[in-house]
Chain A
Amino acid sequence: MLQFKLVLLGDSSVGKSSIVHRFVKDSFDEFRESTIGAAFLSQTVKLEKHQDVTIKFEIWDTAGQERYKSLAPMYYRNANAALIVYDVTQPGSLVKAQSWVEELKHKVGDQDLVICLVGNKLDLCEADSSVRQVEIDDAQTYAQEQHLLFHEVSAKTGAGIAKIFQEMGEKVYERKTAESAASAATQPRKTLNVELQRPSTNDSTSCCA
């Protein structure tokens, strides 16, 4: 089975873990504790567009707090896909999301990475439209300018969650098949970044670093 690495980034309390749990367990916990460090999960997706293809996402759900920011490169460095989450009721969280987009484009480059911008907590706006602080058009326009996928979702109700992963799955799969085809012409044995073992860098205890 093809495996792809996916990383979730975004400000604290925007609902990254809730999105993952809706996707992986189809469950929601109102009182979820904030993540510290990072959590690793995996889930398979059967691609609707490409019948008979099932891919596996290996997901890094990272802590949103500023304090853990310096650990983030470790999680996104070899990622195939990034889900950048903001809270539609918190304008500051979109600013934060945009800085993640910048950082990823700068450090990873979007030719290797499928990025999806996700506005979470849509359920709050449905209950009371006045709590919305980020207009869908503004976020959408930004996403188009930056060539990002874009969705508004609710981890609480589940609305839109499956679609994100379906779409990201298709994109990473299509990129991989395209790249394989391209590299088959030039470099037949090149593999995409799907192996588990990462190169060990920045490792103070290994001698030949």
Chain B
Amino acid sequence: MSSRKKNILKVIILGDSGVGKTSLMHRYVSDKFSQQYKATIGADFLTKEVTMDGDKVATMQVWDTAGQERFQSLGVAFYRGADCCVLVYDVTNAKSFENIKSWRDEFLVHANVSSPDSFPFVILGNKLDVEESKKVVSNRAAQDMAKSLGNIPLFLTSAKGSINVDTAFEEIARNALQQSQADADAFEDDFNDAINIQLDGEPSSCNC
């Protein structure tokens, strides 16, 4: 590549309200350099430098469509051009788990991704820190779901206890980077679109 600009990865984070999307983001950015912009409408927006596999550096933009219940129509516009989509449920909330699939479908409907089958998703089961008795979504059920949706990587996390958050986001970044670089070098031959110019007075036929 001729330009040495860092990659920018657009990540959408989706899930029922109350599953802890915002706390996950905050936990993730809290200890390292990051910048957060509270848009107050539409989407919360966060950026963070990530280093993957030791040397690959990228800037991750995480779009949290927190406000989208109020501004539903704006929300879906954010999906386009995403490099990865994170689906979050709450291990203590069965409904939020069941909705994972509809969040995924909703994303695919609006995001206009070129190949839905290979688009990278990551599933996060959050609130791992709560006592066992309150957990209603079994690990087994989660794994089955992740598998049935196309072997989506699954992480059980705790924003509060800072469990697995960094690992999960590193996986998210890695998947997003893969998506963003797909076909990146496949530029076509671009100077052959000759403009056909016929000047006035040009003979309309030739004598050969």
- Chain A positions within 8 Å of B, measured between CB atoms, are 11-12, 64-71, 202-205, 207-208
Contact = CB atoms under 8 A, between A and B. Distances in A.
Contacts of A12: 2
B182 interface: no
B208 A207 contact: yes
Given A65-B2, A66-B187, A67-B187, A202 B198 contact: no
B190 interface: yes
Contacts of A66: 1-2, 185, 187
B189 interface: yes
Contacts, number: 33
A26 B187 CA distance: 37
A69 B191 CA distance: 9
A67 B2 contact: yes
A205 B205 CA distance: 12
Contacts of B188: 70
B118 interface: no
Given A204-B196, A205-B198, A207-B206, A64 B191 contact: no
B192 A202 contact: yes
Nearest to B199: A205
B194 interface: yes
B197 interface: yes
A201 B197 CA distance: 16
Interface in B1-36: 1-2
Nearest to A64: B2
16 contacts: A65-B2, A66-B1, A66-B2, A66-B185, A67-B190, A69-B187, A70-B190, A70-B192, A71-B191, A202-B192, A202-B194, A203-B194, A205-B198, A207-B208, A208-B206, A208-B208
A13 to B, nearest CB: 8
Contact of A70 (B2, B191, B208): B191
A78 B206 CA distance: 28
Contacts of B2: 11-12, 64-67
